Amino acid sequence: MANLKTVSVTKSFGDIEALKDLNLEIHDGEFFVLLGPTGAGKTTTLRIVSGLEKMDSGQILLDDEDVSDWVPATRDVAFVFQFYTLYPNLNVRQNLEFPLKSPIRNTPQDEIDKKVAEVAKTLHIEHLLERETVNLSGGEMQRVGIGRAIVRTPKAFLMDEPLSNLDAKLREEMRSELTRLQKQLGQTFFYVTHDQTEAMTMADRIGVLNEGALLQVGTPDEIYHRPANAFVARFVGSPRMNLLKVHWKNDVLASPGEEMVFEITDTQRELLRKYDKPELIVGMRPEDISVHDERREHNCFEAEIYFKQSMGAEDILNLKFDKLVVQATVAPTRKTTVGQKICGYFDIDHAHFFDVDTELRIV
């Protein structure tokens, strides 16, 4: 078990700045998820932490010890890759035994047997032990891959999108299994993914990475309810948060065509008075917008239901306010039809405000 830190880590590949001054602090026993789109620098980060890639500058600390110059084998971290990396000429049992049979570990055979049995039980792969790996399904292979990582007790586990090649149903199942496994092992997991649902459901804390820069670190709740900037706001949550560029003048917050003139709270007014630009970005989550047949007093504006997606548990509506289109999620019990004229209500208490230029949260 260990805590893990990256201190001012930078890395470039030619002209590409893959990591820009990355500072991460992962606590002992924590499930930490680094979330970001493809190309953000997630794999590079894990490769540098494990020692497979050299950084340009910075430090890697494992349990507060500087391991920057250590070769991968001595860092004692286990890596689970995006693609299954089992030995095809060995069966499942032999694959699981492999890390314990390394000459530097020199584990006695009865201990190996015990450990393999334990891991197979945890991952529900006991029935697969004598199988050839070529005959396994994707999900089974990934379980064996994870098994091979947990069969020994490294200081930390590094996982690079281990679920991204599984089908949707299995991915969902494995999300809860991995979370349970991490709690059971009580070990440090450093997990990277581009999938915001994985991050939200599995992480103790999330770090959001984009173009090599760390944008925010927080619990799933903090990331969702107080995104630090418009990128995080857009990236986390499905359907996405609506981001509207609006005018801010003489204490009035209104859409450019004045389709919507928002009535804001006193606290929000105080906050925005410190912001001295004529425009800003208002973020509203789809669940904070609702539809009504009759006009309400405040923050309810005439709209037409323009498009509807029935998802079963909820309906996603595209509401057209003159030139503006926003998405709202409503309960299917609220019967709606395309073309219907309604009043779109904005629960303004839940609005997020971002600087029009920097896209940073206005706090």
* Contacts to ligand ADP by CB under 6 A: 13, 16, 18, 36, 38-44
List the single partner that 242 binds among Mg ion, ligand ADP, none, CB under 5 to 8 Å by kind: none
- 192 vs 317 by CB, closer to ligand ADP: 192
Verify binding: residue 6, Mg ion, rule CB under 5 A: no
C-alpha closest to that of 53 among 66, 44, 63: 44
Q: Which of ligand ADP, Mg ion, none does residue 182 bind to, with CB < 5 to 8 Å depending on kind?
A: none
- Where on the phi/psi map is residue 184: left (φ > 0), alpha (ψ -120 to 50), or beta? alpha
In whole angstroms, the minimum distance from the beta carbon of 47 to Mg ion comes to 9
Q: Which does 13 bind (CB under 5 to 8 A by kind): ligand ADP, Mg ion, none?
A: ligand ADP
Binding at 139: pick from ligand ADP, Mg ion, none (beta carbon under 5-8 Å per type): none
Q: Which does 36 bind (CB under 5 to 8 A by kind): ligand ADP, Mg ion, none?
A: ligand ADP
Contact of 98 with 119, CB cutoff 8 Å: no
Strands 252-254 and 77-80: unpaired
Distance, in Å, from the CA atom of 255 to the CA atom of 245, rounded to the nearest integer, reads: 7
188 forms part of the interface with Mg ion (CB under 5 A): no
Residue 182: CB minimum distance to ligand ADP, A? 21
81/84 with CB nearer ligand ADP: 81
By the rule CB under 5 A, 43 interacts with Mg ion? yes
Cα–Cα separations (whole angstroms), residue 300 to 6, 291, 343, 344 = 48, 9, 6, 5
Q: Distance between CA atoms of 33 and 66, rounded to whole angstroms?
A: 22
Query: Quick check: 255 binds Mg ion (CB under 5 A)?
Result: no
Q: Is the separation of the CB atoms in 253 and 237 below 8 Å?
A: no
Nearer to Mg ion, 198 or 315 (CB): 198
Q: Which partner from the list Mg ion, ligand ADP, none does 232 bind, CB cut-off 5 to 8 Å by kind?
A: none
Region for residue 53 given its phi and psi (left: phi exceeds 0; alpha: psi -120 to 50; beta: otherwise):
beta
Q: Which does 145 bind (CB under 5 to 8 A by kind): ligand ADP, Mg ion, none?
A: none
Residue 76 CA to residue 345 CA, distance in Å, equals: 54
Nearer to ligand ADP, 41 or 220 (CB): 41
What is the per-residue burial (b if ≥16 Cβ within 10 Å, else e) of 215-228? Answer: bbbbebeebbeebb
Q: Which is nearer to Mg ion, 50 or 299 (CB)?
A: 50
- For residue 272, what is the enclosing H or E element? helix 266-273
d(CA 65, CA 290): 53
Task: Name the minimum Å distance from CB 62 to ligand ADP.
Answer: 20
* Cβ 3 vs Cβ 155: under 8 Å: no
State which residue, 46 or 260, has the beta carbon closest to ligand ADP.
46
Q: Which is nearer to Mg ion, 42 or 75 (CB)?
A: 42
Contact region for Mg ion (CB under 5 A) — 37-45, 61-69, 114-122, 296-304? 37-45
Q: How far is the CB of 18 from ligand ADP (least distance, A)?
A: 4
